[in-house]
Chain A
Amino acid sequence: MSELSVKHLLGIKYLNEKDIQLIFETADNFKEVINRSIKKVPSLRDITIANIFFENSTRTKLSFELAEKRLSADVINFSASQSSVKKGETLIDTVNNILSMKVDMVVMRHPNPGAGIFLSKHVDAAIINAGDGAHEHPTQALLDSYSIRERLGDVSGKKVVIVGDILHSRVALSNIFALKLQGAEVKVCGPRTLLPRYIESLGVGIETDLRKALNWCDVANMLRIQNERLDISYFPTTREYTQQFGVNKTLLNSLEKDIVIMHPGPINRGVEITSDVADSKQSIILDQVENGVAIRMAVMYLLASKIK
């Protein structure tokens, strides 16, 4: 029997390959659980989990909450927009106040990179990073790799291209760490302005020609253009972006082989991918969403088993 090497899930950077395999094997079991007619197990019935979201989220928050409930944990939700954070309370104070209500685990999304790491050093609870600024989004990367493994059998040796705004994307960074750890080859593709300058130092290749990138890869992970994070103009117009970096059915059908299309959501239909691509057989976007619940159940189960 094995266990995770970490007490918190702050980023993929802190995991090793064995941790990822253990999470995947545990998720396999939970995936079976969530496909039963009664989709609930009592494992975490004496655990209380706080979902603390300082940034908007639909999918991730729902997915975490559902995973918690499927594990029978008690759940409290907190969003910064309706809280005392607006009155000037600090992060540690906010969280410590929540923890004094006997909370065992905190799932946090925060706009500042490293917020989870900071919190893990100052409060006594297991922390799961649900996205910290442009830094990491570990459960998303895990569910992405899990979905690749499910579709293609293995992640090792596969070629994955991540397309779009790499500069502002925590999904991209966590995915790069996770994919490299499992022995996949990774390239990033996008406008030069949205590719971080030293990205090659992470062992990934750069391709600015989308067609070449797609012909090279087994899997294309299409990121959303995060308009809310684009403080300046990184490309002339959305239309021009779509022409150069959007995937449509014509492009997909003209490739040398069938590739797998992924998207972390929410999709800007018609920008990074067209509707017929998003809804095609090659797309595993909805599998990603289903797998997200199983992966989060696995992460919380494994972390909770370390809470004494």
Chain B
Amino acid sequence: MSEPMGQKVLLSSKEINIILHRLACQLLENHLDFKNTVLIGMQPRGTYVAQRLDKILRSAYGVKHIDIGFLDITFYRDDFRRGDKTLSATQTKIDFLVEDKKVVLIDDVLYTGRSIRAALTAIQSFGRPSEIELLTLIDRRFSRHLPIQPNYRGRQVDAINQEKVKVMWEENDGEDAIYLIDR
């Protein structure tokens, strides 16, 4: 794999796959048959993680059915009108109520925690969950603006603010890989 200047591979396809399996097992440990648990992938890029976990849980660990939804948090963000650009929304697709369910919020990178804050508000529009957990593939340590921590983390990363963590997925970007990019 070639590495252009200012870009470093954090995790390879193989490592990502191992981590996803570990996360799937950790979810299984707490949720067993997923009868009362729903997975919510955060738009745009958390949805890939959620779909992969869903697939692994069903194919490798024999879970029969998992409710999975996608949540767009654009209208709940706290930086509306604070940047130069209009915030564009993507699709929210949650075809079930989360009332009294255990919700696992899933995102690719946990950075400031502001998206998760927005998601915690947004999810309430679909009912009152019995509890909410957070799963992130990458946890950027020491960069939180809010007191939010993941229950399940793939890999903890120390990245300085100028750097960006980019998660690529085969189905969207042509490869499974996680890069640390110097902005």
Interface residues, chain A, with chain B CB atoms under 8 Å away = 1-4, 25-26, 28-29, 32-33, 36-44, 46, 71, 301-302, 304-308
Segment at the A interface, from B55-63, B73-81, B162-170 = B73-81
* Chain A residues, Cβ within 8 Å of B97: 37
Interface of A is mostly: loop
Give chain B nearest CB distance to A293 CB in angstroms. Answer: 14
1/0 per position for B81-110, CB-CB distance to A under 8 A? 100011111111100010000000000000
Counting chain A CB atoms within 10 Å of each CB, the highest count among B89, B121, B125, B127 belongs to: B89
Tell me the bound Cα distance from A191 to B15 in angstroms. 73
- Given contacts A42-B75, A305-B80, is CB(A29)–CB(B86) below 8 Å? no
By the criterion CB–CB under 8 Å, are A3 and B75 in contact? no
By the criterion CB–CB under 8 Å, are B125 and A38 in contact? yes
By the criterion CB–CB under 8 Å, are B91 and A1 in contact? no
Q: Across the A-B interface, give the 10 residue pairs with the lowest CB-CB distance, nearest first.
A: A41-B75, A3-B86, A38-B125, A29-B89, A305-B86, A43-B75, A1-B88, A1-B85, A36-B125, A32-B92
Give chain B nearest CB distance to A218 CB in angstroms. Answer: 27
* Chain B residues, Cβ within 8 Å of A37: 97, 125-127
By the criterion CB–CB under 8 Å, are B124 and A305 in contact? no
Tell me the bound Cα distance from A108 to B80 in angstroms. 24
By the criterion CB–CB under 8 Å, are A40 and B125 in contact? yes
- Can you report 20 A-B residue pairs in the complex whose CB atoms are below 8 A from each other? A1-B85, A1-B88, A4-B86, A25-B88, A29-B92, A32-B91, A33-B92, A36-B126, A37-B97, A37-B126, A38-B124, A41-B75, A42-B75, A43-B76, A43-B80, A301-B75, A302-B86, A305-B80, A305-B87, A307-B81
Give chain A nearest CB distance to B42 CB in angstroms. Answer: 15
By the criterion CB–CB under 8 Å, are A26 and B88 in contact? yes
- Given contacts A36-B126, A38-B125, A304-B81, is CB(A2)–CB(B75) below 8 Å? no
Smallest Cβ-Cβ distance to B125: which chain A residue: A38
By the criterion CB–CB under 8 Å, are A1 and B74 in contact? no
Interface residues, chain B, with chain A CB atoms under 8 Å away = 72, 74-76, 80-81, 85-93, 97, 121-122, 124-127
By the criterion CB–CB under 8 Å, are B124 and A29 in contact? no
Counting chain A CB atoms within 10 Å of each CB, the highest count among B75, B87, B121 belongs to: B75
Q: Report which of B74, B81, B86, B124 forms a contact with A2, defined as CB distance below 8 A.
A: B86
Give chain B nearest CB distance to A195 CB in angstroms. Answer: 39
Give chain A nearest CB distance to B70 CB in angstroms. Answer: 11
* Chain B residues, Cβ within 8 Å of A25: 88
Tell me the bound Cα distance from A42 to B77 in angstroms. 8
* Chain A residues, Cβ within 8 Å of B93: 32
Tell me the bound Cα distance from A304 to B93 in angstroms. 25
Tell me the bound Cα distance from A25 to B80 in angstroms. 18
Tell me the bound Cα distance from A4 to B87 in angstroms. 12
* Chain A residues, Cβ within 8 Å of B81: 46, 304-305, 307-308
Tell me the bound Cα distance from A308 to B86 in angstroms. 11
* Chain B residues, Cβ within 8 Å of A4: 86
* Chain B residues, Cβ within 8 Å of A41: 75-76, 122, 125
Tell me the bound Cα distance from A38 to B75 in angstroms. 14
Smallest Cβ-Cβ distance to A40: which chain B residue: B125
Tell me the bound Cα distance from A36 to B97 in angstroms. 10
Tell me the bound Cα distance from A44 to B92 in angstroms. 19
Smallest Cβ-Cβ distance to B85: which chain A residue: A1
Q: Report which of A36, A42, A301 forms a contact with B76, defined as CB distance below 8 A.
A: A42
Give chain B nearest CB distance to A33 CB in angstroms. Answer: 7
